[in-house]
Chain A
Amino acid sequence: MATPGSGGAGLMPYTQDLGGTRHSFADLRGVLAAASPHRSGDVLAGVAATSAEQRVAARLVLADLPLTTFLADLVVPYEADEVTRLIIDSHDTQAFAAIAHLTVGGLRDWLLAADGDAISALAPGLTPEMVAGVSKIMRNQDLIAVARKIRVITRFRGTIGLPGRLSVRLQPNHPTDDPAGIAAAILDGLLLGSGDAVIGINPAGDNVSAAHILLQLLDELRQAYAIPTQSCVLTHVTNTLQLIERGAPVDLCFQSIGGTEGTNRGFGIDLALLAEAQAATLALGRGTLGQDVMYFETGQGSALSAGAHHGVDQQTLEARAYAVARAFRPLLVNSVVGFIGPEYLYDGKQILRAALEDHCCGKLLGLPMGLDICYTNHAEADQNDMDGILTLAGVAGVNFIMGVPGADDIMLNYQSTSFHDALYLRDVLGLRPAPEFEAWLLESGITDAAGRLSSSPARLALPALLDG
């Protein structure tokens, strides 16, 4: 029998006896870390299970824990961390009431049986730690089956996340931010049906004037072709605030976020700054169908990398980043799942697991989850691993993926998914672009009525920048 701390305050160890061996865990944080599927980042942090049996023992403990434990035994102290305070202070006890009597194991069973609307209604009553906990006792197929039932629909100039749809962020990065090189990559992506989630550039530099030029380029292209999509230069939120002041055409406000106050400090942000940036972006009123203006990126391992992990496993911390995201009604959230390197996610198997966890946990918390399905050259992974993750993410109902020319990002030096990968996924799973963008592709002659690329290649009139 699992024995949760009898006082409920988490001071007593959590124990599990297995064949004469007693597995003990000092606190909920320790249970969650030991229960996590093996990954290099937790080993590096010194929080991973020390044996395969201990890992399952932790899962057995976890399965029998009442969900109310998660409101008492906090993995990062309330006093020390504004993300914890956000999680606790915004917890919706009314929504939670439906499952307040359940254990973590009971929640897993409930999620597998419930329909999507019931799960969505539950979201404000779930904390990230509950969601991370339940994910640790779910197999990959459970993560897919549960996530698939949940639709999170967001709007700016298009509608993202509808059933049967798959959107793509067009990512036309260039190592020197050369406008012509970027415009050529955008054109390539549009002609291959990408760009309905966002056309988003990671700038090579940190220069506000250069970002301003890129925003103008994006806006001119969008207007010239009358594309029902949104654009973004993924620069620091303080830069975006400056760009808004300068009158730059800012559609979406981007920021990388993490699951602890210290991680976010490492990113140069706090919750107040995000609120200020959201308000400034909303004030521009540029959305036509909706006003979801925030774009967040996350990824397991960022807290350890920033020295701010508090002894918590990287997947639980990732789920806590989603608590930050959901406070700001984002249009897009994506986990950049394999970018950080093999010291956090070693191989294709670990990247796959993290992708499915991040997608499912984000959806459970009510977020419009996308995935940057990716790897670096020092990870034990290749394009075949990405094909598997891509296909499973599509089955799981991912809102959007990345579209990088030839899957090779020549600025960030990593491999993601390509425009062609998105075409493959839409084709094999019968998925279509966002409805507004789909109509535009048809009108422009890029796709035919069946949604496939036209047999006679479409020609968009070249913008002046490229019309030499």
Chain B
Amino acid sequence: MADLPARLAALTQARIGLPRAGQTLNTAASLAFDLAHAQARDAVHAVFDTSALQAAFDLIEVHSAAPDRATYLQRPDLGRQLPAKEAARLVPTGADTAIVVGDGLSATAVARHGVPLIRALLPRIGGVLAPVVAAHQARVALGDAIGAALGVDIVVMLIGERPGLSAPDSLGAYITWQPRPGRQDSERNCVSNIRPPHGLDHETAATRIAWLVQQARALRLTGVALKDESSVTARISQAATPA
């Protein structure tokens, strides 16, 4: 038995008009919730499988200072640090732009969108590109240490966002001018909710990221002073900060 006129449920993605058994949810509604939560949990704990990235691109892999998922979740500071032995594998090659793929809080998002998004970015982004870097147990700010080690002017961090119950595979892109450890979130620009077919598609996202990268090169900065006029939400909001 549902209490709400059925057509009202179509007005929002919120879980309204749910069928009841007595005063609580019926079996179908209860299990539907469990499934959504299971998918979000699997996304958080999914292992970052880099084989598709390896097959597609010239790839270097690094690990943050967080040794495992449990530590990563409790110590965001470790997920932002690049140990010296990892940094040693990244050497300046004369490139000015780096693309980093980090698992963040959803390796599922990276698995779904990493390769096609980078393929869409490559013809648009310009500059001299460093090899793609795959970063394990990564927070957004790990890109600063990676970018600094590579000696680039711009790092584009593609990273799995915190999964919502109905959105386990959302990818975010963070663009940082002159990356180095200690950069603040207010010094980055962000394109979030890359998640076709429900969120941004890969082509649109790549166009917006490339626009921000080109603006960053022209203005020699990123962050709140770089207003996104490609009609995308550029500033990082607290609620949407993934990692």
Which of B3, B9, B13 has the most A CB atoms < 10 Å from its CB? B3
Contact A457:B1 (CB < 8 A) given known A406-B16, A466-B11 = yes
In chain B, positions 1-57 with a C-beta closer than 8 Å to chain A are: 1-5, 7-9, 11-18, 20, 23-25, 29, 33-34, 36-37, 40-41, 43-44
A413 with B11, Cβ < 8 A, contacts A377-B164, A458-B3 known: no
Please provide the chain B residues from 48 to 81 with a CB less than 8 Å away from any CB of chain A in the complex: 73-77
Neighbouring B residues of A195 by C-beta, 8 Å: none
Q: Is B232 an interface residue (CB 8 A)?
A: no
- Which residues of A are found within 8 Å of B76, using beta-carbon distances? 44, 343
Which residues of A (441-463) have their CB < 8 Å from a CB of B?
452-453, 457-459, 462
Q: Count A interface residues, CB 8 Å.
A: 49
Given contacts A187-B4, A191-B3, A181 and B14 within 8 Å (CB-CB):
yes
The answer on a CB contact under 8 Å between B1 and A188 is no
Given A184-B8, A413-B165, the answer on whether A343 and B73 have CB atoms closer than 8 Å is: yes
Is A408 touching B8 in the complex (CB atoms < 8 A)?
no
- Does B147 sit at the interface, judged by CB under 8 A? no
Query: Does B16 contact A457, Cβ atoms closer than 8 Å?
Result: no
Is A296 engaged at the interface, CB distance under 8 Å to the other chain? no
User: Do A420 and B9 contact each other (CB < 8 Å), given the known contacts A346-B73, A406-B33, A410-B164?
Assistant: no
A378 at the B interface (CB under 8 A): yes
B41 touches A377 (CB 8 A): yes
A40-B74, A343-B76, A413-B167 as given contacts; A420 in contact with B14, CB under 8 Å: no
Q: Are B74 and A405 in contact (CB under 8 A)?
A: no
Q: Name the A residues within 8 Å of B154 (CB-CB).
A: none
* Interface residue from B11, B20, B73 paired with A420 (Cβ < 8 Å): B20
Alpha-carbon distance between A452 and B165 when the two chains are bound, in angstroms: 30
Assign chain B's interface to a size class.
35 or more
A179-211 with Cβ < 8 A to chain B = 180-185, 187-188, 191-192
Kindly provide the distance from the CB of B156 to the nearest chain A CB, expressed in whole angstroms: 23
**Is B14 a contact of A408 with CB atoms below 8 Å?**
yes
User: Which residues of chain B have C-beta atoms less than 8 A from A191's C-beta?
Assistant: 3-4
Chain A proximity of B32: nearest CB distance (Å): 9
Extra A-B contacts (6), CB below 8 Å, given A182-B12, A184-B16: A181-B12, A185-B14, A405-B12, A406-B14, A407-B15, A424-B24
Q: Which B residues lie at the A interface, using CB under 8 A?
A: 1-5, 7-9, 11-18, 20, 23-25, 29, 33-34, 36-37, 40-41, 43-44, 73-77, 105, 162-168, 239
A interface residue numbers (CB < 8 A to B): 40, 43-44, 172-175, 178, 180-185, 187-188, 191-192, 342-343, 346, 376-379, 382-383, 405-408, 410-413, 415, 418, 420, 423-424, 427, 452-453, 457-459, 462, 466, 468
